[in-house]
Amino acid sequence: MKRNLFLFIGTVAIAAMTSVATIYITSNNQTEGAPAITTLFDKQESSFRENPVVDTHFAASVVNREYPDLTYAAENAVKAVVNIEATISVSSQSQAIDPFFEFFGYPQGFGRGGQREARAGGSGVIISEDGYIVTNNHVVENASKLRVKLHDGRAFDAKIIGSDPSTDVALIKIEAEALPTLPFGSSDDLRLGEWVLAIGYPMDLQSTITAGIVSAKARSLGAIEQQGIESFIQTDAAVNPGNSGGALVNARGELVGINTIIKTSTGSYVGYSFAVPETIVRKVVVDLKESGIVQRAVLGVSFRAIDQQFIDEAGEMTNISEVGGIYVASVSEGGAASEAGIRKGDIILSVDGVKVKDSAIFLEQIGKRRPGDKVTLGLRRGDKELEVVATLQNRSGQTSLLSKDSVDAVKVLGAKLKDAPQSLCQELDIKGGVQVTSVNGGGLLERCRVKQGYVITHINDSPVYSLSDLERITERIHSIDGIYPNGRASSYTIME
């Protein structure tokens, strides 16, 4: 027993001496600048200090174990987000339910019998103290009356200043003063993983705030038809029916996007929401406020993004083997690209120094500019890289801004359109045209009783070979000529 006790005491003593020696050695080594004991946390912290590539914000969040404080942004931004109630006239002749309109709160399936009023809800953001509010086009489209309810409970009638279906942005106004506003931030500066807030009025709930991170940028969904400009910010902040037109806010309380749509198979949020970026929103708002129409800049090319599908289908023919960039498929004669010396087969690599790896980024960079703006385009032509300067034009082929009286031919016609297939043009013995894929209510084509499939060949006695030609028309439309796929020619004269 005594022997075991002595052995135990001896073991403890040896362990104590070893510990003292270790501490002594470590202390001496630390003095000499070479620590002998390093924890995993110490290694992480050291790597952040030694690696200049690692961003300081990320390093600080890991080392300090802190989450961003979003309370300031939430409490201030929520005051500038409003509820918009739109009164619309809907047909009750069909039982069919359109899930797109159902998602945005438009009542569906009333049964048979004429027109009736319905109310739909959305959100908006106050951007000026005197009552200018930005929202989505689909929130106010076809509305006969708009009613805006503020965060403080006051309500006002609103009027539409202008809207842009191509970006799904609209500007409305209420008559009020000294309103709380939300300043614009920079969507270009947003980073993947950055915290953002979605603020709106979903499902008849008042001033709802959800948080998430930026999941992706420059996302294209094909949700906006007819030459739509899509470069969405994707987040995982919860967005539901009624959030449309609401604010996407960064941690500093700045407006970086307008919540627009979700991608879902259920009609409700399942993890993906999308916002129009501030770069596009700001440009459209300024245009609508100053001139009542959007001053769309046109480069004058048809193009295709160089992705893996392009390489699989056309890589051998075009001698392109690497993804990235924009392939110029054709150049409009007399357009901005043609004047700058851009040729068919060139590859656009950048716009004013911003790399354009896909169509969404390219469309955003051109879409946020105005006619008359100069842009520097980085190109690859064969084995050479070069830069050219192009002066962007308006849709009529001029560098000046359009007046409010200028006509948007596509909008006035009121239809979904596409370039007529080459095979059909050959069959009908026409050089080209624009084919009607469906007719919307309220447009000229509906008034003329034009049917699906009709190919427009002339407007105002001027040839229309493609959508690009149609978009150049800015004068009032007084005549339409075309032909149906069965060969029957039809002409229409519009009497005002």
Active site residues: 138, 168, 244
Q: How many CB atoms lie within 10 A of CB 318?
A: 16
Task: Please give the structure tokens belonging to residue 46.
Answer: 């050291």
The upper half-sphere exposure of residue 173, i.e. CA atoms within 13 Å in the direction of its Cβ, equals 12
Rounded to an integer, what distance in angstroms lies between the CA atom of residue 226 and that of residue 142? 18
User: Are 333 and 301 spatial neighbours (Cβ–Cβ below 8 Å)?
Assistant: no
* Separation CA 73–CA 80 (nearest Å): 11
Beta-carbon contacts of residue 228 (< 8 Å; ≥ 6 apart): 165, 166, 167, 168
Here the contacts of 445-451 (C-beta below 8 Å, separation 24 or greater) are 445/413, 445/414, 445/415, 445/480, 446/414, 447/494, 448/480, 448/492, 448/494, 450/415, 450/480, 450/490, 450/492, 451/484
385 in Cβ contact with 399 (< 8 Å): no
Helix/strand/coil for 432:
coil
Distances (CA, A) of 300 to 292, 365, 402: 24, 14, 17
Amino acid at 331: V
Q: Which of 123, 125, 89 is nearest to 107 (CA)?
A: 89
Note the residue count of the chain: 496
- As a whole number of angstroms, the distance between CA 235 and CA 220 comes to 14
